[in-house]
Chains A and B, each alone.
Chain A
């Protein structure tokens, strides 16, 4: 689960990592019924761009009493917000308001903005903690050439990145934090500050069951202070049961269907093509996704109903029917997710939901003879070859265009 910048910075700040002064502005609705409905379903309420702009203006006005420039930062989970024009500076209340209006009514319909004091920067550093699956250690990456994507820096200037490995059982040692600061060539005063920030970031990583904790850029100001200019914190989904502070709400997802599926534990991704995938197993679903593309088809949605969801064909089909897909393609090859149970589930779902589009079935695995009977009895044509099923679905999807 990826957190928003403002959440990461709140956690950093609570841990003692300095961040620029800022104020958070979130869209609210004036209509009580909309708010109530939204809180019940977790749905996103429509944004009132004018009200939001006014609040951003007020926040900017307050901050501008103590500095000459603020930055309006769209709170979205996508990377590259700066390049996409979703983070912009303002020097007056009016300018801040008009930026907020632009963000709120633009294609991203930004509903949460961080209004932050701009600081005078000497350098931009990079600092992150993540896991190295091969060595089973934590890896700390740091650079004095921050502010760009680390992947890009790794390709263009690999020597500019310093790294240390940390034993997860032993934890970060003080000598390691100091050694890294010296590797970066920091001045004496900054060494101690940097080591302090790294220590605190390490605690944030451990305490929050993070898979990634990143500060990029880490500002070194003209006055020699280190401040987190941005914050990226990704929490391990498998650990959410012991991290009650992080609740997945609608704002973390791109669509209603993705949100509903995630809450119910159904892996789901939204696309805009013709074929709804309703498959079992992560590897097989991904492969069917590839095969559809090889055959010239397009995907409406990726959905897995294997594993713990194999008795839940009805809900899976309901999610697929929310798309404007032209066909639903069902491919399974299950073990514990028995073929007969999945076939019965699919037939029951068809009877209940009366889908308005064709369904291609390729259901194999444990008890597949019974599954085949069930599908035939219901008037479906059971296929046994994945590639044949994919070709059939692509044909059906293409045929509608003729």
Chain B
């Protein structure tokens, strides 16, 4: 099993005829994801990688059963596209673009919460359950990162995900589902919100968190562990330990101001809650082995 997406997840690609949309649709289909339809206004009747294209999500869901959407839409049109997917009843939505205006990030998360849907992103590589399905732009062909296995991974960064996950795979681990929540200040979904699903997933033995300075997402994970919502082993790497205070280093969401969001605070909270924390990516594999008694 896996969480968020598997072989049965029926996917709509919004913005399917664009350069990125068509390129990654081909890859999603090739790796086995069930892409049922695509949407680009004005392009109904076309096909991309054998997938039929419709003018609107409304017209696509009238012809196909679907439960998830991935958006290859420019940042300034992302909110509109998310509303379109939500209004057609899609409950899992991944939005890739970097650069969504902050006030629209808030409105997207607010709308998702109101309708009980999960929006992942923006500014993310998406979600992948290696060997099963992908709503994202991952180089699944790089075996030393995207190997199927029993590790749930959650991350705020793309490039760092390759770096850290490769260290776990080097020690013999693989990935059940990897979720990139994205580097925006107000991502659609937060780390702790996926912990119940990882807890319930029999194939996920442990969770690896790839965090970053700033915000409170790592602290929320610690709270969920303290509350007993998540009880499996958890290993965390958090980048930005030596970043100077007040500088916007890393993602827009990553800024330390006046004693909140510092990496030291995050690591302390996670350790107190029973997580194992790595101070560098190369230690992640050994900590996972230790946590799982191998």
Measuring CB to CB, which residues of chain A are less than 8 angstroms from any residue of chain B?
Answer: 79, 131, 133-134, 136-138, 149-152, 155, 167-169, 206, 209, 211, 236-239, 241-242, 269, 279-287, 289-291, 293-294, 302, 306-307, 332-337, 364-366, 386-387
Contact = CB atoms under 8 A, between A and B. Distances in A.
A302 B243 CA distance: 11
Interface centre among A283, A289, A291 (most CB of B within 10 A): A283
Q: Is the interface of A mostly helix, strand, loop or mixed?
A: mixed
A284 B158 CA distance: 8
Contacts of B18: none
B213 A286 contact: yes
A282 B76 contact: no
Interface of B: 75-76, 98-103, 106-107, 109-110, 113, 125, 137-139, 142, 155-163, 166, 183, 185-187, 190, 210, 212-213, 215-216, 220, 239-243, 246-247, 249-254, 257-260, 279-282
Nearest to A79: B246
A168 B183 contact: no
A280 B159 contact: yes
A286 B239 contact: yes
Given A133-B216, A281-B159, A387-B280, 13 more contacts: A133-B253, A151-B258, A169-B110, A279-B159, A281-B158, A281-B160, A286-B240, A286-B254, A287-B280, A290-B280, A293-B242, A294-B280, A365-B162
Q: Is the interface of B mostly helix, strand, loop or mixed?
A: loop
B280 A136 contact: no
Given A136-B110, A238-B102, A283-B158, A366 B242 contact: no
A151 B257 contact: yes
Contacts of A283: 155-161, 183, 210, 212, 239, 250-251
A289 B190 contact: no
Question: Closest 3 interchain pairs by CB?
Answer: A281-B159, A283-B157, A151-B258
Contacts of B185: 131, 133, 211
Given A283-B210, A335-B162, A236 B243 contact: no
A238 B101 contact: yes
Nearest to A138: B106
Given A133-B187, A209-B102, A283-B160, A241 B142 contact: no
B100 A285 contact: no
Contact of B157 (A211, A237, A282, A387): A282
A238 B137 contact: no
A366 B102 CA distance: 31
Nearest to B186: A133
A241 to B, nearest CB: 7
A136 B254 CA distance: 17
A239 B249 contact: no
Given A289-B242, A291-B280, A335-B139, A284 B159 contact: yes
9 contacts: A151-B257, A155-B259, A281-B159, A283-B156, A283-B158, A287-B163, A290-B241, A290-B280, A336-B137
Contacts of B183: 282-283
A335 B186 contact: no
B102 A236 contact: yes
Contacts of B160: 281, 283-284, 286-287
A334 B159 contact: yes
A379 B281 CA distance: 29
Given A269-B247, A335-B125, A287 B281 contact: yes
B240 A167 contact: no
A167 B110 CA distance: 8
B159 A133 contact: no
Contact of B216 (A134, A206, A307, A364): A134
Contacts of A290: 239-243, 280
B108 to A, nearest CB: 8
Nearest to A235: B102
A335 B101 contact: no
A285 B250 contact: yes
B260 A151 contact: yes
Contacts of A206: 103
A138 to B, nearest CB: 7
Nearest to A279: B159
B281 A386 contact: yes
B75 A286 contact: no
A285 B212 CA distance: 11
Given A239-B103, A283-B210, A286-B212, A136 B109 contact: yes
B157 A168 contact: no
Contacts of A242: 76, 101
B1 to A, nearest CB: 26
Given A131-B185, A238-B101, A335 B138 contact: yes
B254 A282 contact: yes
